[in-house]
Amino acid sequence: MDLAIHLATLCRKSLVELDSHLPDFKPSHPFTADEIVSLPLDKHRIDDTLHELPRRKSARHNLAVAISSFLYPVHQGSLTAIIRYEEDRVRLRAWAALQRRYDMLKATIRNGHTTRGLSSGAAPGVQAPVWASRITSQGVWDPAKHPISLEGVPAIPMPVEIAHEADLAPFLNHLVGGGTSKLNSDEEGFELDDGRGEPYYGVKGAEFRKGVVYEDGRMDLCKMVVGPDHIGKLMDSLRPNEFVRHFLLGNNIIGPVGAHEIASFIHDLPGRIDTWYLAGNCIDGPSFNILVNAMVKSDAITNIWLKRNPLGSHASEDVYRLITGVRNLRTLDLDQTQLGDRGISDLFNRLAVHGMPEGAKLPLKHIYLNGNGISNEGAQALGRFLASPHCGLTSIYMSSNPLGDSGANALAQALPKAPYLTRLLLQSIGVSTKGAVALCKAATGHPVLEVLDLGQAYATHDLGQGYNYIEDGAVTAIQDLVSAKSRLSYLNFGHMAVAPPAINLISEAVLKSPSLVFFAAYPILPDSALRAATFRPAVDTTFANPAEPTRPQILMSKAVQEHLSANVKARYGEETSYSQFMEEDKRWLVSDKTDVRKIDSVYRNRDAGLARHRLLTLVKNWEEGDETLDRVMAAHAPTCSLRRH
């Protein structure tokens, strides 16, 4: 009886939804694939259970009769209810079946494939169908059709659970005793990676159930989740410890309580910690203000990482105080902090007029601004700061922002006035050929620029950003950029809206570059000159793979690879192979080694490695009804029973 009531309730709700939003729906209509994907079935869904509603003439006849009686109460013996139910069942089952087909077609398009009757999807012969499908479906980014928030991507940490006290206790006891990367005989820990140390680098360390101390002074609790419950005890355990200099606490959701605890630690011991890696910790604007008040008094701090903390646009004044007040701050990570276009504009307008003695420069060298909703206004403000005599920025990471062509033009105008800028990364900023040409022309012959990235960010789709759409019209400007005498070493356009012949033209210029060690550009449009593959029954051969590159493409790709390899040897030494460059040196071409090495975490790297090999699925979204983040933000004081005072 409960099942009949449940199904009757679903039927009634779905019938109302169907009549309201799809009144012309006819189960017998022959839908084409294009017609199906155009239906609003992403907004108006039916419970898939209704696909299996019991039929009147089936082994589940009694259940069908029970459902019909709840839907259409009639006197005993009447067939009206079951007849009406059967008509509704046909409609609901057809809707569920159509919804299933809709989901399959959408997945086909999303994964870059096509099927009979479907006009979208990647064209045959394209080697990156997923990218091609998504980029061509967007076309040139149009803010009117694809609006992107100027408030930035939501700063939400990855889903985690706060650790148990018992799991943290051995590590905290190690720290409070002045513990280093070496273990005492009576401790519940073990040597990192069986004594081999940190993978690839071999840095030794002491690892516990939760927590690692490396011999270079890093303390690593990334993803171990101390939360507001245990952050007080952690900071207390570090007070007597003079070994730890780099504090790695990524995705630990410590909240405002944690920010206050860290601020108190810095206030009391301003010369202790060099690196503060605080990504994904639910630090909001008011608690960030408390942190800044403490950090500006520290001469030890050189880099601060704040990714995925909801600072908000009103935090721009505090970010300004951080940049101008922390005397040795070289690197500042503001990725996905919801500063928004307004906050970024206010920040850089303040910095542009910041007063300093003649010849003096702010210490900040590297700034991360990815995913902050930056548009034309923010780009113009950044341009004004780049032209300031007090700006010494060498690296700007500004991907996944709705800059578009207007924002790109603003940066292009500022580029010649930024004599120290060596890295400019602008993946997925919604730029078209026009903006890309402006940037390439501005970068041509730049005295120090080494890295220019106008490719596509892997998270473009997940973050709801706009792909770069660079077409044939940019080829000449790219050729001029590559051919000019400069220090350009890394050039990435990723997946371009061009056919293979355009890539060949750019590659010919790459073959003459003495400085490039990395170049990437891939066509997402098919080569119209290629004839369709044919099948001759008499020969009985299989069709040629339409995605296979042609022989001229293979030869050009090989020539480019050999040229880049030769440039790598000239730059890094004859003993350096290209694979070695890709594994290690490429990373430090794109990032500053001094500061980025300080935030390397075995926990983050282990998870990333498992995910790459499909041995771990990284959960991105919190479950509906999970109140963890609400509790973190509402916490008022540490509750850890292990705390000693």
Among residues 550, 555, 556, the alpha carbon closest in space to that of 530 is found at: 550
Q: Is the pLDDT confidence value at 35 over 90? A: no
State mean pLDDT over 152-157: 96
Residue 100: the pLDDT is 87
Alpha-carbon span 322 to 314, nearest angstrom: 14
pLDDT, tens digit, 9 for 90 and up, residues 422-477: 999 999 999 999 999 999 999 999 999 999 999 999 999 999 999 999 999 999 99
Instruction: For residues 340 and 404, state if they share a domain.
Output: yes
Name the domain boundary from 527, 557, 574.
Answer: 527
Tell whether 621 is covered by a domain.
Answer: no
- 587 domain-assigned: no
108 shares its domain with 188: no
Mean pLDDT over the full length of the chain? 91
| Alpha carbon 325 to its chain's center | 30
Residues 211 and 281 in one domain: yes
Among 512, 516, 514, 494, residue whose Cα is nearest residue 503:
494
Does residue 46 contact residue 92 with C-beta atoms inside 8 Å? yes
> Domain range for residue 473?
165-527
**Same domain? 470 vs 354:** yes
Does any domain span residue 95?
yes
Domain C-terminal end among 473, 498, 527: 527
Q: Say whether both 336 and 414 belong to one domain.
A: yes
Residues 111, 239: one domain? no
User: Is 140 in a helix, a strand, or coil?
Assistant: coil
Q: How much is the pLDDT for 420?
A: 97
User: Residue 31: is its pLDDT beyond 80?
Assistant: no
Which of 46-50, 153-157, 298-302, 339-343 is least confident? 46-50
Q: What pLDDT, in 10s, does the model give residues 163-196?
A: 999 999 999 999 999 999 999 888 899 999 999 9
- Reported as a pLDDT band with limits 50, 70 and 90, residue 125 is low
Q: Is the pLDDT of residue 640 over 50?
A: no
Q: What is the per-residue DSSP string for 282-337?
A: ---HHHHHHHHHHHTT-SS--EEE-TT----GGGHHHHHHHHHHSTT--EEE-TT-
Maximum mean pLDDT: which of 35-49, 85-99, 399-413, 628-642: 399-413
Is residue 238 scored above 90 in pLDDT?
A: yes
The strand pair at 218-220 and 212-214 is best described as: antiparallel
Question: What confidence score (pLDDT) does residue 597 get?
Answer: 98
Q: CA–CA separation, 516 vs 112, rounded Å?
A: 31
**Residue scoring higher pLDDT (28 or 582):** 582
**Is there a single domain that holds both residue 271 and residue 183?**
yes
Euclidean distance between CA atoms 496 and 135, whole angstroms: 9
* Share above pLDDT 70 across residues of the chain, in percent, rounded to a whole number: 93
Domain membership flag for residue 222: yes
Cα gap 522→498, rounded to integer Å: 8
Residue 485 vs residues 82, 332, 446, 481, 497: alpha-carbon distances, Å: 82, 31, 9, 9, 27
- What pLDDT score does 310 carry? 98
Q: Is residue 611 in a domain?
A: no
Residue 613 pLDDT greater than 80, yes or no: no
Q: How far is CA 644 from CA 51, 174, 539, 576, 638, in A?
A: 60, 15, 83, 53, 12
Q: Are 518 and 564 a contacting pair, CB within 8 Å?
A: yes
Phi, psi torsion values for 331, nearest 5 degrees: -125, 130
CATH number at residue 315: 3.80.10.10
Residue 233 shares a structural domain with residue 326: yes
| 71 and 170 part of one domain | no
- Please identify, among 83, 118, 153, the residue that sits at the C-terminal boundary of a domain: 118
Q: Which residue has the higher pLDDT, 3 or 441?
A: 441
Check whether 642 has a pLDDT greater than 50.
Answer: no
User: Which stretch of DSSP H or E encloses residue 424?
Assistant: strand 423-425
The predicted pLDDT at position 206 comes to 96
Which residue type is seen at 35? E
What local confidence, expressed as pLDDT, does residue 412 receive?
98
Is position 532 within any domain? Answer: no
Q: Is residue 200 included in any domain, yes or no? A: yes
Domain-embedded: residue 618: no
Q: Which residues contact 192 (CB under 8 A, 6 or more apart)?
A: 198, 204, 205, 206, 207, 212, 214, 602
Are residues 89 and 196 located together in one domain of the fold?
A: no
* pLDDT tens per residue across span 555-565: 999 999 999 99
Residue 31 DSSP one-character state: -
The whole-number pLDDT of residue 496 equals 97
Mean pLDDT, range 74-96, rounded to an integer: 84
pLDDT of residue 609: 77
Q: How confident is the model at residue 545 (pLDDT cuts 50, 70, 90)?
A: low
Q: Is the domain of 510 the same as that of 362?
A: yes
Q: What's the structural domain count of the chain?
A: 2
**Do the Cβ atoms of 30 and 72 come closer than 8 Å?**
no
* Same-domain check for residues 172 and 251: yes
